[in-house]
Each structure stands twice: as C-alpha cells, then as structure tokens.
Amino acid sequence: MGVLNDRVAIISGAGTGLGRAASISFASEGADVVLLGRRKAKLEETAAAVKQKTGKDALILQTDVSDEQQVLDTVTAALQQRGRIDIILNNAAVFEPGTVLELTSDEWQNQIATNLTGPFLLTKAVLPAMRKAKYGRIINITSGLSWNGAGGYAAYSAAKAGLESLTRTLADEEHEHGILVNLYNPGTLRTEMHATGKDPAIVTPDLIRLATLPVGGPTGTILSYG
C-alpha cells in the first residue's frame, strides 16, 4: 500500500526530467498520474516508464499550460476519466537565456506564459474540484534564481519570483478549503534544460512529502533539497 493510494496527481512538464521522475515516483506510491506536456511522444515515453516500473496506466493529456482553453479542456477530461484531482505538480518550465536588454517582448512573454501563467491557469481550473472535495495539495517548482536573480536569465528569474508570490497568495486564500500550496526548490537537476546536476529521481521523496501533508500541515512555505 503506497502513501498516495486512491489519489490522483496531475503533473505538468511530465515528458522529461523532474516531471517524468515525479510521475514514476507518485505512481510507485499508488497514485493515478495524469501526464501533461506539449510533446505527446515524450509523454508516451513517460507513460511507458510508469507502466514498466509500477504496472499502472498513466493518463496522457497533451497540453500547453499557457493556453487557457487547452487547460480547461484537460482538467475537464481528467475529472471525467479519473473522477477527482487531489494533487497538482506545476513543473512545466521554459529556461532560456536573455538579459533585459537582449530579450524581445515575445521571448519575455513566452517564458512568463509557461513559467507563471501556466501554474495560475492550471491551479485556477482545478480549484473548484479541490474546494468541493475540501482537499488539495499543490506543489510549485521554483528556483534560487527567484530571489537572487541571475544575469542573463531575466525572464525566468522574474517568472519564478512571481510564482513564489502567487504560491503564498494561494496558500492564504485556500487553506480554509483544505488546500495546501507549497514551493519546492530542487536545486540543479540533470534534465533537458541543464546538462549537469543531480538525477531528478533523488529529489522525488521531497515531492512525496509535500503531496502527502496532513490536514492543517504547512502551507505557503518553500522546501529546498538538502
């Protein structure tokens, strides 16, 4: 019996990296996982890994989280096919370099759309179901760049800072409905976005902890690996 038995977890950016590792880890603990991402082939690879390692069938919903209609359609489909959504892992991200002087408006908007607006849209779409259930665990992936900035990564740093503020706001708004909203900073991971760093699987126990917080547990906080 896993600690996430009978829970449904929706994971954005599930096709690679931390999203894939988390999908496998959550399913290993008994969760039904719903995989979101823009590249269907990558989602299918994750679903195959989940099946191989856990025997569970993942639900694939190809989604651009920055597109509100796609997000609404995805959440509707997830609720229809799984009956509930207990956990959101807002992991989808775009990590592109660019100083304030160099970035075009479109490049700026693209990173803000995925890294900040995406979590807003996905969370907003799921909140009514979580409120009705009086239960929800929302995990937003952040970065040290959110507070110290980083020359050359203006849009990413600003988006993550915004996400941290959004998380604290949501925590304040939703705690009375049994919904806990927290941040997780995994540090540098070896993914498509970064060639060096830790294996993403190393940090998934922390995500399990945040996904299984008890009633009245911490909310609006940030947990960092190590």
User: What's this model's pTM, rounded to 2 decimal places?
Assistant: 0.95
Q: Tell me what the mean pLDDT of segment 54-62 comes to.
A: 97
- 3 domain-assigned: no
pLDDT tens digits, one per residue of 112-168: 999 999 999 999 999 999 999 999 999 999 987 776 666 788 999 999 999 999 999
Distance, CA of 199 to chain centre: 17
> Is 225 a catalytic site residue?
no
CATH number of the domain at 85, please. 3.40.50.720
Catalytic, out of 135, 156, 184, 225: 156
How many other C-beta atoms are found inside a 10 Å radius of the C-beta of residue 216? 9
- 143 domain-assigned: yes
Write the DSSP assignment of 126-161 as a string of letters. HHHHHHHHT-EEEEEE--THHHH--TTBHHHHHHHH
Quote the domain boundaries for residue 118: 8-224
- 1 domain-assigned: no
Q: Tell me what the mean pLDDT of segment 100-110 comes to.
A: 96
- 136 domain-assigned: yes
Domain count, the chain: 1
- 74 domain-assigned: yes
Query: In this predicted structure, what is the pLDDT of residue 105?
Result: 97
- 155 domain-assigned: yes
pLDDT tens digits, one per residue of 60-91: 999 999 999 999 999 999 999 999 999 999 99
- 58 domain-assigned: yes
- 87 domain-assigned: yes
Would you mind telling me the total number of residues written for the chain in this entry?
226
